[in-house]
Amino acid sequence: MTAPLNDNNENNGYDSIRRSYRRMFFYQIWVRSFFDGDGDGVGDLKGVYEKLGYIRSLGIDAIWLCPVYPSPNADYGYDISDYTAIHPDFGTLRDMKMVLDRAHELGMKVIMDLVVNHTSDEHPWFTESRKSRDNPYSDYYIWRDEPNNWDSLFEGKAWKYDPGRGQYYLHIFSEKQPDLNMDNPEVRSEVKKIMRFWLDMGVDGFREDVINFISKREDLPDGLPFVPAVNGMFAYKDGPHIHEYLSEFRKVCEEYDCIQIGEGPMTTLKNALTYLSGKNKTLDMMFSFDHMMADCIYTEYIHRPFSLRKLKRAFSKWQYGLGGKAWNALYLENHDHPRVISRYGSERFRNESGKMLAAAYIFQQGTPFIYQGQEIGMTNIRLRDINDYKDISSKTNFHKYHIRDTLEKRMHRIHLSSRDSARTPMQWSGERYAGFSAVRPWFCVNPNYKTVNVAAQEDDPDSILNFYRRCIALKKHSKVLTYGSYREFFPRSREIFMYERVYKGMQRLVICSFSKRFTQVTLPKKYADRPRRLLLCNYAADSRDDMLFRPYEVRVYSFPRSNTDND
Ligand code: GLC
């Protein structure tokens, strides 16, 4: 089945993001590590401005900017102390406007992160709220005389006692990220004001942070005590008023040409459909997490060897589940997960597996998101000392969960799971500090920057970077790969991920080998005897047309019915 379409507009100018997001490619920027435009070792908006041409050259249509607001950086920008300003590290509102205008000139949209489940404890709302039980902000947060048994996702219990007010406040993330009380209409009205502020400035939409957490069950029931470290997790998501609140926000967006993409940790497919489809649809797309757990149960907690079958089950679950009803947000990396080559591919076959992984997700049905550095095949860092890591969740996990293990084992787990692997400076060139900055950057550069960098890959037609460009161009020019239905073959295979896309009789077959060895591939019966054309491959073309796949080989085939079947 093919998803419903309302974007028949053929022009490539993408005038309306609402109408055309299904045909777009997004690029995610975690600004602090993208490019330092003012020479202080920290990435900033000037740096983003300078690299807009590069981003556009990939074929990108829209940028998602991670939080650029003032923040004490307890959680690097996801603890906001002022929603309508820019962090001085990143520049000014004027710089933001310049980025917006230039991106628009280049034909790209810009969406921002909307983080409203919580603020920073240094936000003036919280500093007021904690003062007393009867001031204008006292009900902006979730205060209780007695805490329930919930654990926070980042550090210890989810409640912290505030001696000034004589009560506990809820923080699902760090202590410095108190949860807002969305049941208070004034808080919702603040959120709408924030949205309007940025939309009036020209922003084209929002990525809405942990948006399924914003409504909590009123009784705040205890969680299941046998779920270690995340006790309460299932009680604080998809609360009773979530749709009501999201439809209020949706109304604001409807006044503008704006899209909304929600981050939905732990959301089931069934729940996701309640946000993404039907007449009360409140989000255009959602970031789901199942496919990010093919080597773990939540990256931070329990690690397992990579299982291709688990990955394929997750991919297909969301492809079949949303197909014809809603639209997927496709991603393999972002600022919260280690680098995908180090997880699902192979650092030894970095080049081959990086390209294969690109094709494996990009050609599914949905809008692809590419995270900075993914397009050049950046890999994980392995720092020796936990104190060299910056991310709060890496530090607290190290101290909390693995206390009985040896130091080596604990560090090994950090190497597998740390979000910091995605936050090292972007590798622009083989020059000092990877061309990211003229001075020592705020965080270490991955030592592989001399070989893994944009400049080297620009000049190499067989680079991962240029392969991403080919994938993007191929999908953008193809209705089958954009709108076609999805079907997986051989789901039980432990080496091969194979799926077809079909649209109005046109067919494409994507075959990905996840094996380090040569692997014989069998075509599904319906394709076996038909003439086929190789549209894309991650190995240099040779004259062979056998089905012996090389390590991490990927091929995309079409099956022309005639010489004119060019999609
Ligand atoms: C989201 C963000 C993550 C942040 C968390 C708390 O999951 O992507 O970076 O730490 O929310 O805001």
Q: Chain centroid to CA 549: how far?
A: 30
pLDDT tens column, 267-303: 899 999 999 999 889 999 999 999 999 999 876 778 8
Mutate to test the pocket of ligand 1, among 79, 114, 118, 210 (most ligand atoms within 8 A of CB): 210
> CB of 483 within 8 A of CB of 20?
no
What mean pLDDT do residues 536-546 have?
Answer: 81
Asked if pLDDT for residue 403 goes beyond 70, the answer is no
Report DSSP letters for 496-517, one per residue. EEEEEEEETTEEEEEEEE--SS
Nearest CA to ligand 1 atom 5: 78
> Tokens representing 350?
């970095």
C-alpha–C-alpha distance, residues 114 and 210, integer Å: 9
For the chain, the helix, strand and coil percentages under 3-state DSSP, each to the nearest 5? 30, 15, 50
Span from the CA of 90 to the centroid of ligand 1 (angstroms): 19
Mutate to test the pocket of ligand 1, among 154, 336, 395 (most ligand atoms within 8 A of CB): 336
Q: Which domains does the chain have, with CATH numbers?
A: 17-115+186-471 (3.20.20.80)
Q: Which of 294, 292, 301 is nearest to 397 (CA)?
A: 301
Q: Which of 407, 399, 411, 419 is nearest to 156 (CA)?
A: 399
Which pLDDT score, from 0 to 100, does residue 561 have?
80
Mean pLDDT, the chain, integer: 94
Nearest CA to ligand 1 atom 3: 336
> CB of 71 within 8 A of CB of 88?
no
Asked if pLDDT for residue 562 goes beyond 80, the answer is no
User: What is the position in ligand 1's atom list of the atom closest to the CA of 173?
Assistant: 6
pLDDT tens column, 59-114: 999 999 999 999 999 999 999 999 999 999 999 999 999 999 999 999 999 999 99
> CB of 44 within 8 A of CB of 92?
no
> Tokens representing 80?
């906001």
Which pLDDT score, from 0 to 100, does residue 543 have?
58
The yes-or-no answer on residue 460 being catalytic is no
Helix (H) or strand (E) holding 48: helix 45-50
C-alpha–C-alpha distance, residues 541 and 254, integer Å: 48
The yes-or-no answer on residue 219 being catalytic is no
Span from the CA of 210 to the centroid of ligand 1 (angstroms): 7
Q: Rounded to the nearest 5 degrees, what angle is found at the Cα of 213, between the Cα atoms of 400 and 362?
A: 90
Asked if pLDDT for residue 11 goes beyond 60, the answer is no
Among 120-129, 405-414, 450-459, name the one with the lowest average pLDDT.
Answer: 405-414
Nearest CA to ligand 1 atom 12: 78
Sign of CA dihedral 205, 419, 315, 525: positive
Span from the CA of 177 to the centroid of ligand 1 (angstroms): 11
Among 323-337, 377-391, 397-411, 415-429, name the one with the lowest average pLDDT.
Answer: 397-411
Asked if pLDDT for residue 544 goes beyond 90, the answer is no
Confidence of residue 10 (pLDDT cuts 50, 70, 90): very low
Nearest CA to ligand 1 atom 6: 78
> CB of 465 within 8 A of CB of 375?
yes
Which pLDDT score, from 0 to 100, does residue 399 have?
85
User: What is the position in ligand 1's atom list of the atom closest to the CA of 335?
Assistant: 9
Asked if pLDDT for residue 7 goes beyond 80, the answer is no
pLDDT tens column, 212-225: 999 998 889 888 76
Span from the CA of 209 to the centroid of ligand 1 (angstroms): 6
Query: What percent of the chain has pLDDT above 70?
Result: 94
Which pLDDT score, from 0 to 100, does residue 448 have?
98
Pocket-forming residues, ligand 1, beta carbon under 6 Å: 75, 78, 115, 173, 209-210, 263, 335-336
What mean pLDDT do residues 231-246 have?
Answer: 86
C-alpha–C-alpha distance, residues 24 and 85, integer Å: 28
What mean pLDDT do residues 128-157 have?
Answer: 95
**Choosing from 209, 238, 333, 336, which is the catalytic residue?**
209
Asked if pLDDT for residue 227 goes beyond 70, the answer is no
Which pLDDT score, from 0 to 100, does residue 266 have?
87
C-alpha–C-alpha distance, residues 78 and 87, integer Å: 12
Nearest CA to ligand 1 atom 2: 209
- In angstroms, what CA-CA distances link 144 with 161, 170, 181, 220, 223? 9, 8, 12, 10, 16
User: What is the position in ligand 1's atom list of the atom closest to the CA of 117?
Assistant: 12
Q: Chain centroid to CA 262: how far?
A: 10
Query: What percent of the chain has pLDDT above 90?
Result: 86
Among 164-168, 366-370, 400-404, name the one with the lowest average pLDDT.
Answer: 400-404
Span from the CA of 157 to the centroid of ligand 1 (angstroms): 18
Span from the CA of 336 to the centroid of ligand 1 (angstroms): 7
C-alpha–C-alpha distance, residues 36 and 65, integer Å: 15
